[in-house]
A = this chain, B = another copy of it.
Amino acid sequence: MKANRVQVEVVTIGDEILIGQIVDTNSAWMATELNKCGFELAQITSIHDDEKHIIDSLNLALERADIVLFTGGIGPTNDDITKQTLAKFFNTKLVFDEAVSQNIEQLFVNRPTLVLNELTRAQAMVPEHCTVIQNLVGTAPITWFEKAGKVIVSMPGVPYEMKQAMSLEIIPRLQNFFKTPVLLHKTVQVYGYPESALALKIADWENQLPKYISLAYLPNSGIIKLRLSGLLDDMLALEFSINQQVDKLSQLLGDAIVAYEDVSIQNLVGDLLKEKGLMVATAESCTGGNIAHEFTLIPGSSEFFKGSIVAYANEIKTNVLQVSTESLTQYGAVSQSVVEQMAEGVRKLLKADIAVATSGIAGPAGGALEKPVGTVWIAVSSAEVTLSREFRFGSLREQNILRATQAALLMLKEII
């Protein structure tokens, strides 16, 4: 049976998120780590540096959850009031902490360009009667409070300070405090189904899942990730059961399953290419360099990626990629003939083992009745074979570029 997981709430304090200055990447990271360690994140709340709002949020969170994690609002400047507010909440006062002071001085020894000012020294004041955890990479200490079997932690909002504190101190202490079991996850990536069609297709399978396995649909530019999460005391039995369910799903969906792990398609393609010792090149019209960009975001991509010709103007298709002018005139740039010649052309020009080419109408302009916006031809070419396929995506430019990129990577994956 599904165990009741320990409930966590994250409260981020500060203006940055609420005025749109930064994207809250901390919460996604914390959610992933907490989930992996068997905790369940029940709510994320972002609020301003406001005493009443902080206390209200804490009271509400304690009604629902076992753990409340505050991030941010503990810097040296005047607008940061979390520490004072928590001291008030716990009916205690701020006291000077020698260990924190030494930790801060140590940090400044190593960074002679920084100046140890009054504001920074004030960081060594902490609420009395709490557990202080040293912040080894910043001046704001982490404070840990316990109340009626529940835990409240206040930590910095700076991402690398937060991550260091969570990984090395807070999560291990929470696991110890709550004696949590470990979760098991398995992700299956499915291509070619809209979400609703996939839901219908696997409805019977979904309904027969044991109660201790839960399913999440996670759509992303044409691919839907199905994540199975299991929680059971007997880990071997759980592993066996999850694999059994994935086998059933595999029989049901066949080739629509493009990956059995939670990695990006460009990483999968990159790994396959390296494994087979193949070098890839791209010829991009409608994707405009985005396939190349996705490959080159991967560290070490020079081991499998040669380069790309972004042939946005038609004359580059003919002059550089050797597409025949006749084909361009007769069939248009968005055609099977042209995209196949682009793939072959770039493979030969850049001396690659395999190549992929895209040509399409990303929009908003350029559509016609026969070839509406969203029409994309994609070809993959190796020394042995050239394959091509027509796609019809939607009407939005950015979406079309992303979907064409995804589709091109999947066609590459098939042929490797």
A-side residues, CB < 8 A to B, are 15-25, 27-35, 41-48, 53, 60, 75-79, 110-115, 117-120, 137, 139, 160, 194-197, 199-200, 216-218, 225, 227, 279, 282, 284, 286-293, 295-297, 299-302, 305-313, 315-316, 319-320, 349-351, 362-365, 372, 374, 392, 394-399, 401
Q: When the two chains form the complex, which single residue of B41, B200, B299 contacts A365, counting CB atoms closer than 8 Å?
A: B299
Interface contact A195-B76, CB-CB below 8 Å = yes
Taking CB atoms, residues of chain B closer than 8 Å to A114 are 194, 197
Taking CB atoms, residues of chain B closer than 8 Å to A200 are 117-119
Q: When the two chains form the complex, which single residue of B47, B117, B218 contacts A16, counting CB atoms closer than 8 Å?
A: B218
Indicate how many identical chains form the complex: 2
Q: When the two chains form the complex, which single residue of B44, B197, B308, B349 contacts A17, counting CB atoms closer than 8 Å?
A: B44
Interface contact B312-A195, CB-CB below 8 Å = no
Q: Give complex CA distance A288, B363 in Å.
A: 24
Q: Give complex CA distance A48, B113 in Å.
A: 46
Taking CB atoms, residues of chain B closer than 8 Å to A292 are 284, 288-289, 292-293, 310, 312
Q: Give complex CA distance A21, B392 in Å.
A: 25
10 contacts between A and B (CB under 8 A): A16-B218, A17-B31, A18-B31, A20-B32, A20-B33, A21-B28, A60-B60, A111-B394, A137-B394, A320-B350
Q: Give complex CA distance A28, B22 in Å.
A: 6
Query: Which partner residue on chain B sits nearest A279 by CB separation?
Result: B313
Interface contact A364-B112, CB-CB below 8 Å = no
Interface contact A289-B310, CB-CB below 8 Å = yes
Query: Which partner residue on chain B sits nearest A14 by CB separation?
Result: B216
Interface contact A21-B225, CB-CB below 8 Å = yes
Q: Give complex CA distance A199, B401 in Å.
A: 38
Taking CB atoms, residues of chain B closer than 8 Å to A395 are 110, 137
Interface contact A119-B16, CB-CB below 8 Å = no
Taking CB atoms, residues of chain B closer than 8 Å to A16 are 216, 218
Q: Give complex CA distance A196, B111 in Å.
A: 15
Query: Which partner residue on chain B sits nearest A29 by CB separation?
Result: B20
Q: Give complex CA distance A194, B75 in Å.
A: 11
Q: Give complex CA distance A401, B293 in Å.
A: 9
Taking CB atoms, residues of chain B closer than 8 Å to A362 are 296
Q: Nearest Cβ distance between residue A123 and chain B, in whole angstroms?
A: 8
Interface contact B299-A288, CB-CB below 8 Å = no
Interface contact A24-B21, CB-CB below 8 Å = no
Known contacts A27-B17, A216-B15, A312-B296, A115 near B307 by CB under 8 Å: no
Taking CB atoms, residues of chain B closer than 8 Å to A33 are 20
Q: Give complex CA distance A41, B46 in Å.
A: 10
Q: Give complex CA distance A29, B18 in Å.
A: 10
Leading 9 A-B pairs by shortest Cβ distance: A288-B296, A20-B32, A289-B289, A289-B292, A20-B31, A308-B310, A76-B196, A44-B46, A119-B196
Interface contact B117-A197, CB-CB below 8 Å = yes
Q: Give complex CA distance A319, B398 in Å.
A: 33
Known contacts A20-B35, A21-B217, A293 near B293 by CB under 8 Å: yes
Interface contact B48-A45, CB-CB below 8 Å = no
Taking CB atoms, residues of chain B closer than 8 Å to A284 are 289, 292
Q: For A20, A111, A401, which residue has the most chain B Cβ atoms within 10 angstroms? A: A20
Interface contact A311-B320, CB-CB below 8 Å = no
Q: Nearest Cβ distance between residue A70 and chain B, in whole angstroms?
A: 14
Q: Give complex CA distance A306, B300 in Å.
A: 28
Interface contact B43-A46, CB-CB below 8 Å = yes
Q: Give complex CA distance A219, B30 in Å.
A: 21
Q: Give complex CA distance A227, B79 in Å.
A: 14
Taking CB atoms, residues of chain B closer than 8 Å to A31 are 17-20
